Amino acid sequence: MRRLGVSNLAWPAEAEAAAFALLAERGADGVEVAPTRIAPWDELTPARLATFRRGCEAAGLETSSLQAVFFGRPEAALLDDAPRFEAMCEHTRRLAGIAEALGARVAVFGAPKSRLRGALAEPDAMALAADRLRVLGDIAAAGGLAFGMEPVPPVYGADFLNHAADMIELVRRTGHPAIRAHLDTACVTLGGDDPAASIHAAAPLLAHYHMAEPELGPFAAPICDHAAAGRALDEVGYDGWVVIEMRQGEGDGLAAVATAIGFARTHYVTAAM
């Protein structure tokens, strides 16, 4: 059954308990975690992670997934020199431990600055990325984690995997069970692609999905074609998580979260209920 999550980017840390209560009240199933919204990387101790997970579970929620997984780690790079790739490998080991502690099984790999191709030609970047993602896939899988590779448009600072077709090609070329596809309604739309067509193309590889608006905006007056995206997820039989990704709105952001959950129930999860 398709399940609904909300990113913890949508509220401040001090509103965490109220946010969990709202999600439970409105029928959401889980929380997508940007780890540094819990604490800085060096303060994400087993005890702190366990406390967060207990809070989720006490409200009847799960940790659906991880995002912003390379935030604040500029030394980690997929396509740079060997030391920077080793830094990415080391951080992925850390991520696998965080995911295991929280119960998450998917980490969204957006991170445009962590995968810049720079002077690399596109074919060379694709070949190097496939080789290195197999290494990262082995590390992630050892902790029960998979990466969901996200196409990110140039407007968000990306110069690699800008389109859904590019991401799908790379995932297929990598051929690793822990390297999967992830789509985001806003990223696909801003990249000039059609969300519904992209969902159909990615369907056999799709591990995760974000309901999002440009710049992680709210859902009071959305501009992306979410209705078509939701229908496409139904048509391909997608039964994973749909996560609402949005930044914090006015105040504690919870009024905007409530609106977004209602919107998601109209367009993304009704058929799965």
Dihedrals phi, psi of 22, to nearest 5 degrees = -65, -45
pLDDT at position 1 is: 83
Confidence class for position 162, pLDDT limits 50, 70, 90: very high
| 219-238 residue pLDDT tens | 999 999 999 999 999 999 99
CATH code assigned to 3-272? 3.20.20.150
Rounded mean pLDDT, 194-209 = 98
> Which residues, including other chains, have CB under 8 Å from residue 43's CB and lie 6 or more apart?
none
| 42-73 residue pLDDT tens | 999 999 999 999 999 999 999 999 999 999 99
**What are the sequence ranges of the domains in the chain?**
3-272
pLDDT at position 234 is: 96
Report how far residue 24's alpha carbon sits from residue 51's, in angstroms, rounded to the nearest whole number.
Answer: 18
Q: Which residues of 78-98 are buried (b: 16+ CB within 10 A; e: fewer)?
A: bbbeeeebebbeebbebbbbb
pTM to 2 decimals? 0.96
Alpha-carbon dihedral sign for residues 86, 141, 166, 247: negative
